[in-house]
Structure 1
């Protein structure tokens, strides 16, 4: 017969409860991961020209620019606030022009999710497009943008397009 006051039974109950709590946390964290560009918007022909036109960036650019597109009501943007601040400081130190553009419904054809970044070199050429980083919190440690900026400053244009990654992103609505 099962003795409910047994120390072994109590340990079993505690371990089962702990396993259930950990499983629930993992499930809810993983369910927050979304694909950045599941509709393959960034892979469409003429995407970069459409992006520049939409933001009015077709004029001659004379310095490398970091364009940040952020939806203020996006919980992921709130989680990435420290990263965004550090990213702007980093871009400023590297001599980049920083253009912050709030997400608007007009951008849904060129920006699949936010927070997003696009880097343009001083000649108006494509350098980087995609999310700020990957993972649950889109934190500084997994940033793509810093790498692309560092490469550009070193004289190498990586032409890095990151569309197939998962993280904390707000899918943009029409």
Structure 2
């Protein structure tokens, strides 16, 4: 038996492209645009996801399936520039993997409830990260760190007052 292809209803298509009902109908009528033809069932329109992906690709859109990579590995966070951003990215990764703090502790070989302390570092019971825990936390979430050059912000030059310089 052939697997069913995924379809999107009109509402999902409008949400995907952030368009109104009127715009969707204009796109469907405009043959020069080449928008995929829907299937109509009981006065409802359904679009094949594969057709929508092909249409996006023909228009030069980047597919959501194309993941940004560094050295062939997928990027799983935004740019991190401070400790709070690092912890936020680690929490997001843990949640993405569907792990609780206790599961992460077990997986990483950290003592019980240590991940919770790391994630809540500004609180009284929180802990900062040390050289022993750092590789365990990264390994438990199956992530690594790659440093990249960020564009430098121009420095503001200080001008010396004449009275200070004298």
Which range, TM-score by smaller chain?
under 0.3
Tell me which of the two structures has the higher relative contact order, counting C-alpha pairs closer than 8 angstroms and 6 or more residues apart.
1
Q: TM-score, normalised by structure 2?
A: 0.21
Q: TM-score, normalised by structure 1?
A: 0.21
More strand by share: 1
Max radius of gyration: which structure? Answer: 2
